[in-house]
Amino acid sequence: MDETFDSRKFLKSLKKEMDEHETTLEAVRYAMHRIAETLPYYKWVGVYWLKGNTLLLGSYVGAKTEHTRIRVGKGVCGTAVKENANQIVRDVRERDNYIACSLDVRAEIVVLIRKQGRILGQIDADGHEVGVFDARDEALLEGVARLIADRLPDHP
C-alpha cells in the first residue's frame, strides 16, 4: 500500500457512501468496486459468505471465477475460516492448499467478516505481484469488514 494512502479517510468516505445504498447487497457491491478502483494492485476483490461448512461467492470485482463455492478448510479462504484467522499469503506458490483462480495471481489476502464473535464471511483479494499485501491492507480490509458487519442482522 502506498505510504500516502489514508485508510481512515477512505473508510470514513466509504461508510458514508455505503450508507447511501438501501440494501446490504448494493452496499457490499459498491465497497468492492471502491476498493478495486482505489487500490489498483487489488486485481480481484470480493466477498464470500459462510453458509454452514461452505463459503459462497457474493459480490466481486475482477476476472470471472469458477470458485463460487469453497469448503471450509480448502484453499486460503477455507483455511481462514477453519483457523478463525485472517490470511496474508506473500506467494501463493508456497501454499500446498492454494486453489488457483488464475495463473497471474501471486499474492492473496483474506480478512474475516465477524459479528458478535461469529464468522459471517470474508473479504478475499488477489494480487499479481509477490508480497503485494501487508498488515496495512489487513487493517484496511478489517475496517471494511466492520462496515459490512454493521449492516448485517445481530442474529443468525
Q: Could you report the per-residue pLDDT of 85-139, keeping only the tens digit for each?
A: 999 999 988 887 767 667 789 999 999 999 999 999 999 999 999 999 999 999 9
The answer to whether the CB of 138 falls within 8 A of the CB of 42 is: no
The answer to whether the CB of 47 falls within 8 A of the CB of 28 is: yes
Mean per-residue pLDDT, 68-83: 96
Question: Taking the model in full, what pTM does it have?
Answer: 0.94
| Cell digits of residue 100 | 488457483
In this prediction, residue 24 carries a pLDDT of 94
Strand duo 107-115 + 69-71: pairing: unpaired
CA atoms of 141 and 136, how far apart (whole Å):
9
User: How far is CA 74 from its chain centroid?
Assistant: 16
Q: What integer best gives the mean pLDDT of the chain?
A: 93
